[in-house]
A and B are shown apart, each in its own frame.
Chain A
């Protein structure tokens, strides 16, 4: 928006002041050029994102099994959702994961970012090393490796046995699968870490110097300077990671073999949605679930933005 404004203004400056018609024509040409440059993305967005989204909105109100034509059933899908015990289970699993996984991951990301920020040498190297898991973390192969590590007689089980824990594999134990997934998410702290690191670098050193003069210790500095100065970045990371955590799919699919087991303990919302759509062929129901997720995530985002003014501090802003 800001960019277009400036471009238009420069265009206005070079144009002859009297000929407003010419100006208008030129502006039209610029708009067309703008759309032309936008076209590759816009076409993709319309055809691959907006179109299917609209289609799924329609399907959410139908009974559609992929084979025969969708049949309008109004709000029936949503009514069934309310009575579906698996829907409740999948919502529970996902909310627990978001509530536990997101803070743990952000704390890890911030901790590593602060350590790296202090490093004098090899910062680029360490940054890349710590970021690496995030590059490969969402992949199928890592989910397979994770499963192999946490399985019965796997490496984690064996290490545990050396310390006297006879817990068996985490993969087959319904109460241990959630910690396993939180660990997997935490391990991929790279993306928020890099953003935190950038945020940390922007905090003026004078603030720390001034506080040192006043005798503030590291803890005081962290809570009085680092956190408030970092709050916009924290807000951004929190929002992004929360949304991400509602969408965990691949790892759950691989580790549970696409079933959400054991005993429904890894039945993440998106996995259940997928099962309804592509295992049971109930596309209408799955679409309804997708739109419930859209609305919930939308509401969460709204809440985040509404409450942000109470805890997010923007430098240069009058308070």
Chain B
């Protein structure tokens, strides 16, 4: 009897424990009735971001519900990675939220499979586009389908912590500095051997070659078009290796911020714990940097100049708003999108935390105090406008995957478990599968 029980329990356990699966249920969709702007409607809305962003969204939603008493917004949020997992699962079940914060990286995949509502019928109706630059509207369209509208624009910037730089005795770079100059700056600041108040060594910066968008920016500086219209790459293995080799001297001498410490600080980083003096990132990160680091004094300047002598920067349309193709209330969804895009009060609520607002009315509504975060970001985008000479690379299908793969490989490169050549080979193998 004992033998029988134990054995059968073992078999049952083996069978039951091995496979688990997720299931999602799709909502029934019925439509076709004429739109009644007064009918009570509940919209689901989701975004990625931190608590700070959630507070701002909640404030904006409260304002919207005040103006449109018949529409209730159910907002949810999660971090970037979890966000796309959630959306893909919903897409498979045709149950995407009515309105979503969206990103260029995933637009092509979702639009190719008709998961996003074509907003064109609502432009000029529920959605006022008069405040928009034509190019910006165009950036939310894929093959003639208006799948999203950007809330704001971002461009890359070099952030530096003047106090840390001063401590290491290194001068901030001049505007026309090159990638090589940037390397020298990082090396000098690290080699100064200074320490923070807690006794942690101060570094000049991190390994900037580990971010896929920086690689794209560098390609544009080199006069290349990262992605062709047919979805093929406009760069070769050699290009990628050349970019990765840019920071090789720093990696070899352990002059960049150590990867093992960086990983353990997540979601913070060397820059936000005031142990690293510089960081390249999107300009809307300033608000987050100031909040996380507790340092008011963070300066911004343009990214390094490429070998062509140009900075060749671009504005990336960001924080797009899109609607699920499965929405039962497209008009109400469009009304909400219009509110988030155009309402000046929303511009005041968010400031530059999502980037510089696309619409002038929202920009004007921001309370730009001299030296404030918002003022700094707006001034920065105005100041670099002369360097913004290129269109944003339009992400190919599978962009999210190849970007994530680049990040993973960069980590392995930093741990020296792979070489630059292996990095390039692995990435292209993966990219071939992801983008086909």
Contact = CB atoms under 8 A, between A and B. Distances in A.
A247 B2 CA distance: 27
A235 B6 contact: yes
A67 B112 contact: yes
Nearest to B84: A279
Nearest to B436: A63
A298 B434 CA distance: 31
A293 B260 contact: no
Interface in B399-436: 401, 404, 408, 411-412, 415, 417, 426, 433-434
A302 B383 CA distance: 70
A301 B401 contact: no
A72 interface: no
Contacts of B11: 301
A35 interface: no
Nearest to B267: A257
Contacts of A66: 88-89, 91-92
A171 B434 CA distance: 30
A244 interface: yes
A236 B23 contact: no
Nearest to A314: B3
Given A259-B408, A280-B404, A233 B6 contact: yes
A227 interface: no
B19 A294 contact: yes
Interface string A222-263: 000000000011011001100110010000000001111111
A235 B14 CA distance: 13
B366 to A, nearest CB: 33
B250 to A, nearest CB: 19
A53 B11 CA distance: 17
Interface residues of B, number: 46
Interface string A50-90: 00110110000000011110000000000010000100000
A152 interface: yes
A67 B113 contact: yes
B259 interface: yes
A279 B85 CA distance: 6
A290 B22 CA distance: 13
A236 B11 CA distance: 10
A23 B7 CA distance: 33
Contact of B264 (A68, A151, A259, A263): A151
A12 interface: no
Contacts of B415: 174, 262-263
Interface in A134-193: 151-152, 168-169, 171-174
A100 to B, nearest CB: 20
A67 B266 CA distance: 31
Contact of A67 (B3, B7, B109, B434): B109
B10 interface: yes
B411 A263 contact: yes
Interface in B61-98: 81, 84-85, 88-89, 91-92
A278 interface: yes
A169 B433 CA distance: 36
Contacts of A68: 112-113
B263 A305 contact: no
A56 B21 CA distance: 9
Contacts of B132: none
B260 A314 contact: no
Interface string B266-300: 10000000000000000000000000000000000
Contact of A281 (B266, B401, B426): B401
Given A172-B263, A261-B263, A48 B88 contact: no
A172 B264 contact: yes
Contacts of A260: 408
B92 A67 contact: yes
A281 B10 contact: no
Candidate in A65, A151, A233 with the most chain B CB atoms within 10 angstroms:
A65
Contact of A262 (B7, B16, B18, B260): B260
Contact of A52 (B9, B23, B109): B23
Contacts of B401: 279-281
Contacts of B17: 243-244, 247
Contacts of B408: 259-261
Given A174-B417, A279-B85, A240 B10 contact: yes
Contacts of A53: 19, 21
B59 to A, nearest CB: 29
Candidate in B91, B115, B260, B415 with the most chain A CB atoms within 10 angstroms:
B260
Contacts of B91: 66-67
B81 A258 contact: yes
B227 interface: no
Interface in B17-38: 17-21, 23
Nearest to B90: A66
B264 A67 contact: no
Contacts of B433: 80, 282
Contacts of A232: 2-3, 6
A297 interface: yes
Given A240-B13, A314-B2, A278 B411 contact: no
A92 to B, nearest CB: 13
A4 interface: no
B110 interface: yes
B264 A171 contact: yes
A240 B19 CA distance: 14
A128 interface: no
A154 B254 CA distance: 23
Nearest to A176: B260
A250 B84 CA distance: 18
A279 to B, nearest CB: 6
B13 A243 contact: yes
B183 to A, nearest CB: 24
Nearest to A247: B17
A281 B88 contact: yes
Contact of B260 (A48, A168, A278, A298): A168
A85 B91 CA distance: 30
Contacts of A315: 2
Interface string A278-319: 111110000000100110011001001100000000110100
B321 to A, nearest CB: 20
Contacts of A152: 260-261, 264-265
8 contacts: A56-B19, A236-B10, A263-B415, A279-B81, A279-B85, A297-B14, A305-B7, A314-B3
Top 4 A-B pairs, shortest CB-CB distance: A172-B260, A52-B21, A67-B113, A263-B415
Given A236-B6, A314-B2, 4 more contacts: A49-B16, A67-B91, A67-B92, A67-B115
